[in-house]
Amino acid sequence: MRGRNDVAYHGADPDHDDSQRHSPATIFLHWATLLLILLSAAAIFGRELVDDKAVQGMLMNLHRQAGLLVFILLLLRIMVRALPGNPGVDHGLPFFLRLMALASHGFIYLLLAGLPLMGWALSNARGVDVALLGWAPLPRLVATDPDLADTLADVHEWAAWVLYAVVAVHAGAALWHHHVRKDQVLRTMLPQRK
């Protein structure tokens, strides 16, 4: 068991220094978003494994709802980041790593916004009206159009694969920070232990 003075990480121990951790809201939104992405992926891949039309419809609706919730959590995350009392964490990274982190986060945010909006438009193009959680009807983004639906389906699928790849690289980078650089980047986003 390591002692307080045996911290192998640069700077303060984030388990005991709240100034070196992301806010609880940011941490919650980060991990909730990941869980929703996994749920959405599981629903759409699971849909391909069943023949029952009712189950396929249920899984597609689960996929849509998870995507919409990802979009809402993204908006909340942007709002939380903009709060005056939530300046974020300075990891003390070199300029190049900060630039790479900023670019990768921007790209992830773009995908987290674009994929749900594209899925929403795809549903509309297929003639499906979308309701948040099944009870809050959302406006139509596009008119019913089978040709547009085919195009959106292709782009949506490719964008999803890009998101999965970027999330994998993001996770790999966090592990690299933790195990190779031995800095606090990963630990500042982990839920705090009691």
At 145-164, the pLDDT tens digits run 999 999 999 999 999 999 99
Please, are residues 169 and 161 in contact by the beta-carbon 8 Å criterion? no
Q: Rounded to an integer, what distance in angstroms lies between the CA atom of residue 22 and that of residue 79?
A: 14
Q: What is the pLDDT of residue 9?
A: 37
Per the prediction, the chain carries an average pLDDT of: 81
pLDDT digits (tens, 9 = 90+) for 55-77: 988 999 999 999 999 999 999 98
Q: Rounded to an integer, what distance in angstroms lies between the CA atom of residue 164 and that of residue 5?
A: 39
How far CA 1 is from CA of 4, 6, 21, 174, 186, in Å, comes to: 10, 10, 22, 23, 20
Q: What is the pLDDT of residue 26?
A: 80
pLDDT digits (tens, 9 = 90+) for 71-95: 999 999 888 887 766 655 555 667 8
Contacts of 43 by beta carbon, 8 Å cutoff, 6+ apart: 59, 60, 62, 63, 66
- Is the full-model pTM beyond 0.85? no
Residues 154-180, mean pLDDT to the nearest whole number = 84
Q: Rounded to an integer, what distance in angstroms lies between the CA atom of residue 61 and that of residue 130?
A: 9
Q: Residue 87's CB: how many other CB atoms inside 10 A?
A: 10
Contacts of 34 by beta carbon, 8 Å cutoff, 6+ apart: 167
Residues 34-52, mean pLDDT to the nearest whole number = 91
CATH code, 15-189: 1.20.950.20
Residues 33-51, mean pLDDT to the nearest whole number = 92
Contacts of 68 by beta carbon, 8 Å cutoff, 6+ apart: 116, 120, 130, 132, 138
Q: What is the pLDDT of residue 8?
A: 37
Q: Which of 43-47, 99-103, 122-126 has the lowest mean pLDDT?
A: 99-103
Q: Rounded to an integer, what distance in angstroms lies between the CA atom of residue 97 and that of residue 155?
A: 30
pLDDT at 36 over 70: yes
